[in-house]
Amino acid sequence: MPAKLLARLRQAVRLRHYSPRTEDVYVRWVIRFVKFHGMRHPSELGREDISRFLSSLAVQRNVGASTQNQALAALLFLYRHVLGSAVGWLNDMVHAKRSNRLPVVLSRAEVRSVLGWMPEGVPRLVATLLYGTGMRLLEGLELRVKDVDFAGHEILVRAGKGDRDRVTMLPDAMHGQLQRHLSAVQHQHEEDLGDGAGWVALPYALASKYPNAGREWGWQWVFPATRAYVDAVTGERRRHHLHETVVQRTFREAVRASAIAKRASCHTLRHSFATHLLETGYDIRTVQELLGHRDVRTTMIYTHVLKRGGLGVRSPMDSL
């Protein structure tokens, strides 16, 4: 695999301020594409080679339409912004048709059951916060202390999906347990400072503009990792935020223990949050803003989940 090509790809992604996760995904797809074609350089390949790769994903790997489109997006980015190919044949590449799937939603009783099966600790607190705020898992794990406003009863979600900021509520029922958690985190941070550590990664070039901000309490993660690491570039001893697999594993075990037959994940808590708000009577525009959807049509899917039975129609059997 040409190291220079991957370095140029990463540089192009960062230049456009895509998320680190998108960067890693694009790099992985380009590596798979090159390996599929016998380690040939992408500049030697073209439209037919991309189509053959995508077809193998659908036919041999049996991947879904969203995964196939993700691979196509990575390759189109490579050819457009890294290799500088003419966009004519690129524009003709056909995206896979995505199926319309209704989201999995837990009832209030099921949410209570799953959270009850999660042992006391940080993963349970994170899951509770996801249901109470409608945040995505990574949005919750990437919260900074300064973005939690207890007085205003709100949380500022920074650089969410699409690199957009938004405000969501902070449930009153969570004030006490979240404040106790932050008190423990602050004590841990003070110990880190005493050991010459206590640094945290900062977005963009803030570390250059504010050299000491990386050790300030307000910039620390709300849910820091249990172990510190040494940054290879700066030599700083930092803490990353808690890894998402820690919460996902605990949540999955709780779903299994609660004997709920639904295929629920941490993201199901976000779906349940939206559906339960609509059931309570909140208007769809409010729910759209809380979820951070760009288009209200994305939020409209939860109105279909609200319906009971066949499109909400009462069966004649029920009147016998």
DSSP state of 164: -
CB 185 within 8 A of CB 217: no
Beta bridge partners of residue 224, listed in sequence order: 241
Query: Is 166 an active-site residue?
Result: no
Choosing from 181, 189, 241, 270, the catalytic residue is 270
Helix, strand, or coil here: 167? strand
Is 136 in the active site?
yes
- Strand 166-169, strand 224-230: pairing: unpaired
User: Given its phi and psi angles, is residue 145 left (phi above 0), alpha (psi -120 to 50 degrees) or beta?
Assistant: alpha
Out of 26, 79, 131, 136, the active site residue is 136
Under a CB-based contact definition with an 8 Å cutoff, are residues 26 and 11 in contact?
A: no
Handedness of CA 258, 260, 263, 268 (dihedral sign): negative
* Catalytic residue (one of 10, 32, 161, 240): 161
Q: How far apart are CA 167 and CA 314, in angstroms?
A: 39
Diameter of the chain measured on Cα atoms: 75
- Return the structure tokens found at 261: 């037959």
Torsion angle in degrees (nearest 10) through CA of 8, 11, 13, 15 = -140
Q: Which stretches of the chain are DSSP H helices?
A: 3-15, 20-36, 47-59, 65-77, 88-91, 108-117, 122-133, 137-141, 175-194, 206-209, 244-257, 266-280, 284-291, 296-299, 301-306
Active site residue 204: no
Q: Is 267 a catalytic residue?
A: yes
Closest CA to 134 of 116, 115, 112, 160: 160
* Residues acting as catalytic residues: 136, 161, 267, 270, 293, 302
